[in-house]
Chains A and B, each alone.
Chain A
Amino acid sequence: MHFDPVANMQLLVSGLAFGSIYALVALGFVLIYNAVGVVNFAQGEFVMFPSYIAVTFLLPAITVFGTVVHWQLPIVGVYLLVLVLMVGFGLLFNRIAYHPLRDRGWMPVVISTIGVSIFLRNAAQMIWGSQPIVMPSLFAVDTISVGPLHIRPQDLLIIGVTAVLIAFQFFLFERTTLGKQMRATAQDRATARLVGVRVGRIVAITFVYSALLGTISGLLVAPLFTVTKEMGALIALKAFAASIVGGFGSIPGAIVGGLAIGVIETFGGFYISSAYVDAIAFIILISVLLVRPQGLFGERVAEKA
Chain B
Amino acid sequence: MTLRHAERKWAALAGLVFVLALLPAFVHSDYLLSLFDTAGIYAIVVMGLGILLGFAGQLSLAQAAFLGIGAYTSGWLTTHLGWSAWPSMGAAMALSAMVGLAVGYPCLRLSGHYLALATIGFGIITQLVLINWKSVTNGSDGMGNIPAPQIGSFVFDSYARYYYIVLVAVLACAYVAWRIKTTRVGRALEAIRENEIAARATGIDATRYKIIAFVLAGAYAGLAGSLLAHMTKFISPDSYSFDQSVVFLVMLIVGGSASISGAILGAVLLWFLPEVLRPLKTSYIMVYGAAVVAMIVFMPRGLVGLLETLRSRFVRRRPDAA
Interface range for A: 35 or more
A165 CB–B CB distance under 8 Å: no
Which residues does chain A contribute within 8 Å of B124, judged by CB atoms? 237, 278-279, 282
B121 CB–A CB distance under 8 Å: yes
A241, B122: Cα distance in complex, Å: 12
Closest chain B residue to A66, Cβ basis: B282
B168 CB–A CB distance under 8 Å: no
Contact residues of B between 250 and 295, Cβ < 8 Å to A: 250, 253-254, 257, 282-283, 285-286, 288-293
Closest chain A residue to B53, Cβ basis: A107
Contact flags B80-123 to A (C-beta < 8 A → 1, else 0): 00000000000000000000000000100110111011101110
A54 CB–B CB distance under 8 Å: no
A114 contacts B250, C-beta separation under 8 Å: yes
A282, B65: Cα distance in complex, Å: 14
Main secondary structure of the interface of A (DSSP, over half): helix
B117 contacts A125, C-beta separation under 8 Å: no
Chain A residues in the interface with B (C-beta under 8 A): 33, 39, 41, 96-97, 100-101, 104, 106-108, 110-112, 114-123, 125-126, 233, 237, 240-241, 244, 248, 275-276, 278-279, 281-283, 285-286, 289-290, 293
Which residues does chain B contribute within 8 Å of A126, judged by CB atoms? 282-283, 286
- Min CB distance B139 to A, Å, is 10
B249 CB–A CB distance under 8 Å: yes
Which one of A115, A118, A276, A285 lies within 8 Å of B117 (CB-CB)? A285
B246 CB–A CB distance under 8 Å: yes
B132 CB–A CB distance under 8 Å: yes
- What are 18 A-B contacts defined by CB distance under 8 Å? A33-B113, A108-B253, A108-B296, A110-B116, A115-B291, A115-B292, A115-B296, A116-B289, A118-B292, A119-B293, A125-B282, A237-B124, A241-B117, A276-B132, A279-B124, A285-B117, A285-B118, A290-B106
Number of interface residues of B (CB under 8 A): 38
A290, B104: Cα distance in complex, Å: 12
- Min CB distance B132 to A, Å, is 5
Closest chain A residue to B119, Cβ basis: A286
- Min CB distance B188 to A, Å, is 21
A97, B297: Cα distance in complex, Å: 8
A293 contacts B114, C-beta separation under 8 Å: yes
A198, B47: Cα distance in complex, Å: 42
Given contacts A111-B253, A282-B124, 14 further A-B contacts (CB under 8 A): A100-B297, A107-B253, A114-B249, A114-B250, A117-B289, A118-B289, A119-B286, A122-B288, A126-B282, A237-B242, A240-B120, A282-B125, A289-B118, A290-B106
Which residues does chain B contribute within 8 Å of A110, judged by CB atoms? 116
B128 CB–A CB distance under 8 Å: yes
Which residues does chain A contribute within 8 Å of B254, judged by CB atoms? 111
Which residues does chain B contribute within 8 Å of A100, judged by CB atoms? 297
Which residues does chain B contribute within 8 Å of A283, judged by CB atoms? 121, 125
Contact residues of B between 198 and 257, Cβ < 8 Å to A: 242, 246, 249-250, 253-254, 257
Which residues does chain B contribute within 8 Å of A289, judged by CB atoms? 110, 114, 117-118
B114 contacts A122, C-beta separation under 8 Å: no
Which residues does chain A contribute within 8 Å of B257, judged by CB atoms? 107
B292 contacts A112, C-beta separation under 8 Å: yes
B300 contacts A104, C-beta separation under 8 Å: yes
B289 contacts A119, C-beta separation under 8 Å: yes
- Min CB distance B297 to A, Å, is 5
